[in-house]
Structure 1
Amino acid sequence: MQFEELTDTIKGKLYERIGNSFLFSYTLFFLTINWKFFYLVVLKKELKNIEDFLQDQSLEIYKPICYSLLYTIFMPIIVLISETYSEFIKTGTLFLRNFMRKNWQEHELSTIKEIENKYISKIQELESMLNLHTRDYQDLSDNILQWYRIDRNIPETTVVEFWSCNDNIIPGDVAINNNGVITRQISNKNQILGIIVYKPSSYSALIVKNGFITTDIINLAEKQNINKPGKYFLSTKSPSRLEYLAPELKGVFQIVGESFTDGSFKIEISSESR
């Protein structure tokens, strides 16, 4: 608050006190100081007693005026100091509250940041481990594929792939892709991948995706009960089983491949309508 504003405020308070409460304060001080006289009047004493009192002790007129002037002059200053003090306390309380709130928020943000960094570090560690395991898995799958090709004398024209699978899959089943995992299913809209020829573990499998499956790789005729040459499609009744495409059958069929008299099977995945 500037000095001019302070003087204007004091002047305003003075005018207000003088205009509104000087007479009231004077009356109050007058009655208080001259209370004995009014006490006699209230008790309805005889006029002679009142005159004797006034001869001994006159009424105070100027003293109440002085007290009233002091009241009207200094009371605005006291009120102003009180209001300034109250405003100071209010401002100080607000500042302290904001300061504590800011420190608490900074502490909370710091704690959240620490927790976030901790989890980011943990996620990065898990990602690193996952990448390491993925590389190990890829190396292992490549080694198994290479070993299997050599062991079964599989030509390069035959496409063999390594996939994850359900544990109920067995060699000879038709491999159906269900969100990146091979499952046993009947004919539907899911992708046919090929024929499962080997399972190195309960949840992994090698499939022939394209090319010939000879009896050196797997005896598919025995696994799928194939008893005649011709085209075979994915069964609509038994999951991952093959059915012979007889000439009299009508409809839409998911062709898996064709069987030959020597026991081999050529993977040729297609759709055929009749």
Structure 2
Amino acid sequence: MEYQKILPPPQLRNHVRYFWTLESHAAEITPKTFKTFADGSPGLIYQQSDKGCFYQEEKKLPPIFLYGQTTKHTNIYSPATFRTVGVYFYPHALQSVFGLNASELTDTCLDLDALAREERAPLSEQRLVDSGSFGTQLDLLTNYIQHQINKYDKPGASVLPHAISRIIGSKGNIPLKTLLQELQLTERSFERKFQQGVGMSPKLFARICRFQASLSQLRNNAFNKLSDIAFENEYADQSHFIRAFKEFTGFTPNKYQQRSSELVENFPEMIF
């Protein structure tokens, strides 16, 4: 398979981390199984194949969809040959780009073709199909996202970018009390804003950020033993780290290294 990661144009960089493309080789004959992990971010995926459909467990996926926060691991089944374009957003994008209550999309997805038709937005599955090349498809998605930002984003109106940055920067270990003092918000008000804007509680988001920091260390083999990862990411001990890792991936760290091949971050192909 061929994977490419593309930085967004400057006007999208407060909302989009990056675009990505993934294309299987024409000679592939075996359907693929991918596993999704909790990563703290929503996204958009357009998938194209003339060999069958894509499924999340038993659910057939629309050709183009917007997905919310993932709090649990799940399996995606794809045809043997396919082309996929993805958009990896910042955690607040469901609200700032699409005007949605993010909690309504947590652990589920939305048919974006239907949403775009309803809002008369400049995007459709047919336009993406007709465009042909990845470059043209990325241009269509860029124009659509910019249209949405112009419609919904209100710069400076949300405390979420600061809170999210602080939580990610601390690898999930910043005390809630510190954030409340910086933002001058009550715990109840902050919880409500975070739930609506990000799609989960600040506590769960912080746990996912800590898991992601440990996963990054595991990917890069930046450790001598697992207890090093547990200690450096402020888990109580190695067993707590392994338990958290298994909660978000379905595997122990050792099984993950043995059974996954990760081209797309947090979307590894499983090896059986």
- TM-score bracket, normalised by the shorter chain, equals under 0.3
Which structure has the larger Rg over C-alpha atoms? 1
The two structures have a TM-score, normalised by structure 1, of 0.21
The two structures have a TM-score, normalised by structure 2, of 0.21
Q: If each structure's helix is expressed as a fraction of its own residues, which one has the higher value? A: 1
Larger RCO of the pair (alpha carbons < 8 Å, separation 6+): 2
